[in-house]
Amino acid sequence: MATTLIIGDYAKSSWSLRAWLVLHAAGLEFETVQVALEEVTTRANILRYSPSGKVPALSMDGIVINDSLAISEAIAEAYPQARLWPTDARVRALARAATAEMHSGFTNLRTQMSFGLNLGDQPDTLSPDTEWEIQRVFQIWRGLRQAAGGGTFLCGEFGIVDAMYVPVVFRFRRYGVAIPSDLQGYVAAILDHAHVKQWLALAAQAQT
């Protein structure tokens, strides 16, 4: 049975990006169905595939799984050889906590620094809460890299926790947030990742 990921616009749907990256990191072959967002027919079109009326949604093994984190967990369980979570139990616990915090938190950052793939935008004056959340992201990245003992990505190899923070990298890039010197290599590795570059290419193609 075919595996299908239903996503929103490449340039708009940060949660779709997360799930799409996880599937690619697992080495899956899957079909992608893209539904245009912010249109009169958007909800009806999504409901053809997902009973939640939201994207992303994963059709796999005869069921539909909605929500990026739920999709990520399902893929990690189905494909343990992909090592989407760190193998070390302590590092894995920290990675899960960081992923959950990204999934449910950072409300101020999301509100003041909306997701986008373009460059050179200027946000309104950032609130103290947003400034704190930016520093919290840097703290999380440092903590994971230290716990994992180095490596290109947060916990060594690219995994679920990296996929969750890729849209934040794009937010920082869009609004010109200065990246601390000790984290610039990580951000550069994310932007140079083959599947991240592929998503950018698909977004550019969709806009032509």
3-state secondary structure the chain: CCCEEEECCCCCCHHHHHHHHHHHHCCCCCEEEECCCCCCCHHHHHHCCCCCCCCCEEEECCEEEECHHHHHHHHHHHCHHHCCCCCCHHHHHHHHHHHHHHHHCCHHHHHHCCCCCCCCCCCCCCCHHHHHHHHHHHHHHHHHHHHHCCCCECCECCCHHHHHHHHHHHHHHHHCCCCCHHHHHHHHHHHHCHHHHHHHHHHHHHCC
| pLDDT score recorded for residue 185 | 97
Q: Report the CATH number that the domain containing residue 66 is assigned in CATH.
A: 3.40.30.10
Q: Are residues 77 and 157 in the same domain?
A: no
| pLDDT score recorded for residue 1 | 54
Q: Are residues 27 and 109 in the same domain?
A: no
Tokens encoding 99 = 């992923």
- Mean pLDDT taken over the chain: 96
- % of the chain beyond a pLDDT of 90: 94
Q: Are residues 42 and 96 in the same domain?
A: no
Q: Are residues 63 and 26 in the same domain?
A: yes
pLDDT at 44 over 60: yes
Domain extent at residue 75: 4-82
Residue 203 counted as domain residue:
no
Residue 200 counted as domain residue:
no
Residues 117-144 pLDDT 10s: 999 998 889 999 999 999 999 999 999 9
Q: Are residues 70 and 155 in the same domain?
A: no
Q: Are residues 75 and 94 in the same domain?
A: no
pLDDT band at residue 206 under the 50/70/90 scheme: confident
Residue 139 counted as domain residue:
yes
| pLDDT score recorded for residue 126 | 95
| pLDDT score recorded for residue 208 | 66
- % of the chain beyond a pLDDT of 70: 99
Q: Are residues 105 and 179 in the same domain?
A: yes
Q: Are residues 95 and 188 in the same domain?
A: yes
Residue 201 counted as domain residue:
no
Q: Are residues 96 and 136 in the same domain?
A: yes
Q: Are residues 101 and 185 in the same domain?
A: yes
Domain end (from 55, 82, 109): 82
Domain end (from 33, 52, 82): 82
Q: 118: closest CA among 10, 35, 19?
A: 10
Count the domains in the chain.
Answer: 2
| Mean per-residue pLDDT, 79-94 | 97
Q: Report the CATH number that the domain containing residue 115 is assigned in CATH.
A: 1.20.1050.10
Q: Are residues 191 and 95 in the same domain?
A: yes
Residues 18-41 pLDDT 10s: 999 999 999 999 999 999 999 999
Q: What is the pTM of this model?
A: 0.96
Q: Are residues 95 and 74 in the same domain?
A: no
Domain end (from 82, 103, 135): 82
